[in-house]
Amino acid sequence: MHWRTKLIQAEPKSTDGFRSLTTPTYRGSTVVFDSHTQLTDDWHEAQLGYTYGLYGTPTTRELAARIADLEGAFHTFIVSGGQAAIALIYLAFCNAGSHVLLPWNAYGPSKDLSEGLLSRLNIQVERYDPLIGSGISALIRPETSLIWCESPGSITMEIQDLPAIVAAAHARNVPVALDNTYSAGVLLDAFSFGVDVSMQALTKYVGGHSDLFLGSVSAGNEAAFERLGPIHRQLGMASSPDDASLALRGLQTMGVRLEALERSTLAVAEWLTHRLEVATVLHPAFPSCPGHDLWKRDFTGSASIFSIVFQPAYTPAQVNAFVDALSLFKIGYSWGGVTSLALPYPSLDRPGNPVQGRIVRFNIGLEHVEDLIEDLTGAFATLQ
Ligand SMILES: *Cc1c(COP(=O)(O)O)cnc(C)c1O
């Protein structure tokens, strides 16, 4: 063969016999078949074997299987990010004319999707009070095809009564999807409460280092699996094996990271309860957090995000100035990494908006707690 052909047609020479302790990064779009009789293009890769890189390589399949195992899922799909996971769930369970229930405190871009693309497709998304519990029955219509839960909710941290909502939904044959990002799939046993689908932004705790985008969509049962699979394929929701490899590495240290983050976060949140500037600390492990009793009942621990509400005397400009005065706490979206973050929410979207302009959401990282408290002390001092 000419060397040009050799460059392209080389048979693999080094693949056999190497058993790494970790999962190698398999990149690939084309999957090679031995003969045309074996050709198949089917998203049921877990049952049929590999057919096309879109559905996963050994690296992404390993990550999916690990997440499914941790969450106790029937099957997990890996997608390119948490928002992609949310989109996949909407599009798998809704038709034109469908009605969806979404809590007020859901992750913001989920609302953008419902008011944007989904509204163009005549899918109507109605917001509900996250603390509604079994009262959700009254909102369910014949055309309701999906109920979303997110617990704790974004920014305002309310804990939902999942068993009550699931019971009401299933009584009317409506599937329930949970944004389970906060729990990292381990602090809340979502499927034990009967939810049909649990999704995570793996970008957060599984990735754990603010350097990748991935999402997981875990089906609790075969019916949900068969709804999700075809839409995952039709939308071409491929994900990066390189990012999956980083997520597999993230899983190895997630246990110690979560433990350290929980401890530091509780210490910082506790310290904040004694500050006169702070009206409320919204951390699920504190009685001041709406739904705290449900958190005690349903969760096995807490994570690294929580919010504070400043006293009404403080103006939004002062709250923003407080955030700007922090130096170890960086200002930025996303969370679950090793760096502490602070974000003000001057235009928080909540009915009545009682905390508008006075709320700051923190992500606590792996810095030393005393340094974080010193940083907060300095920022509070600038408000005098
Ligand atoms: C970050 C986040 C998402 C979206 O994840 P991305 O990977 O950033 O797209 C979804 N839900 C919650 C609760 C989040 O915090």
Any atom of ligand 1 within 6 Å of the Cβ of 81: yes
Which of 204, 211, 216, 246 has most ligand 1 atoms within 8 Å of its beta carbon, as the pocket-test mutant? 204
Which of 155, 203, 210, 361 has most ligand 1 atoms within 8 Å of its beta carbon, as the pocket-test mutant? 203
How many whole angstroms from 84 Cα to the centroid of ligand 1? 9
Q: Is the residue at 348 inside a domain?
A: yes
Is there a contact between 163 and 194 (Cβ–Cβ < 8 Å)?
Answer: yes
Q: How far is CA 174 from CA 84, 110, 190, 224, in A?
A: 22, 19, 17, 12
How many whole angstroms from 194 Cα to the centroid of ligand 1? 22
* CATH of residue 82: 3.40.640.10
CA of residue 116 relative to chain centroid, distance: 21
pLDDT digits (tens, 9 = 90+) for 23-80: 999 999 999 999 999 988 888 887 888 999 999 999 999 999 999 999 999 999 999 9
**Token pair for residue 300?**
């096995």
The DSSP call for residue 279 is: E
289 and 260 in a common domain: yes
pLDDT digits (tens, 9 = 90+) for 64-94: 999 999 999 999 999 999 999 999 999 999 9
How many whole angstroms from 17 Cα to the centroid of ligand 1? 39
Any atom of ligand 1 within 6 Å of the Cβ of 174: no
Q: HSE of 6 in the Cβ direction (CA atoms, 13 Å)?
A: 4
Amino acid at 270: E
Predicted confidence (pLDDT) at residue 12 exceeds the cutoff of 80: no
Any atom of ligand 1 within 6 Å of the Cβ of 154: yes
Any atom of ligand 1 within 6 Å of the Cβ of 103: no
Strand 305-310 with 359-363, pairing: antiparallel
Q: Is the residue at 6 inside a domain?
A: no
179 and 46 in a common domain: yes
**H/E element holding 360?**
strand 359-363
Q: Which structural domain range is residue 281 located in?
A: 254-381
Q: Report how far residue 71's alpha carbon sits from residue 185's, in angstroms, rounded to the nearest whole number.
A: 6
300 and 215 in a common domain: no
Index of the ligand 1 atom closest to the CA of residue 150: 13
Q: Is the residue at 24 inside a domain?
A: no
Any atom of ligand 1 within 6 Å of the Cβ of 83: yes
Q: Report how far residue 291's alpha carbon sits from residue 157's, in angstroms, rounded to the nearest whole number.
A: 9
Average pLDDT, the chain: 95
Any atom of ligand 1 within 6 Å of the Cβ of 107: yes
Q: Report how far residue 225's alpha carbon sits from residue 73's, in angstroms, rounded to the nearest whole number.
A: 10
DSSP letters, 95-149, are -TT-EEEEETTS-HHHHHHIIIIIHHTT-EEEEE-TT-GGGGGGG--TTEEEEEE
268 and 193 in a common domain: no
The DSSP call for residue 188 is: B
Nearest 5 degrees, angle CA 116-CA 117-CA 122? 100
The count of structural domains within the chain is 2
Split at pLDDT 50, 70, 90, the class of 8 is confident
Split at pLDDT 50, 70, 90, the class of 283 is very high
| Count of other CB atoms within 10 angstroms of residue 378 | 13
Q: What percent of the chain has pLDDT over 90?
A: 88
53 and 147 in a common domain: yes
Any atom of ligand 1 within 6 Å of the Cβ of 205: no
Any atom of ligand 1 within 6 Å of the Cβ of 82: yes
- For residue 226, give the nearest of 252, 196, 194 by alpha carbon: 196
Any atom of ligand 1 within 6 Å of the Cβ of 243: no
Q: Is the residue at 129 inside a domain?
A: yes
Split at pLDDT 50, 70, 90, the class of 326 is very high
Is there a contact between 370 and 239 (Cβ–Cβ < 8 Å)?
Answer: no
Domain boundary among 212, 230, 248: 248
Q: pTM for this one?
A: 0.96
Which of 78, 181, 237 has most ligand 1 atoms within 8 Å of its beta carbon, as the pocket-test mutant? 181
179 and 294 in a common domain: no
How many whole angstroms from 361 Cα to the centroid of ligand 1? 15
**Token pair for residue 75?**
């099957």
The phi and psi torsions of 346 (rounded to 5 degrees) equal -65, -25
In the beta sheet, which residues pair with residue 216?
78, 200
80 and 214 in a common domain: yes
Task: Count Cβ neighbours within 10 Å for each residue of 37-71 and write b for 16 or more, e otherwise.
Answer: eeeeeebebbeeebbbbbbbbebbbbbbbbbbebb
Q: Report how far residue 215's alpha carbon sits from residue 83's, in angstroms, rounded to the nearest whole number.
A: 8
340 and 359 in a common domain: yes
* CATH of residue 367: 3.90.1150.10
147 and 258 in a common domain: no
pLDDT digits (tens, 9 = 90+) for 167-216: 999 999 999 999 999 999 999 999 999 999 999 999 999 999 999 999 99
Which of 107, 180, 205, 306 has most ligand 1 atoms within 8 Å of its beta carbon, as the pocket-test mutant? 107
**H/E element holding 363?**
strand 359-363
Is there a contact between 94 and 126 (Cβ–Cβ < 8 Å)?
Answer: no
295 and 237 in a common domain: no
How many whole angstroms from 206 Cα to the centroid of ligand 1? 12
**Token pair for residue 259?**
């433990």
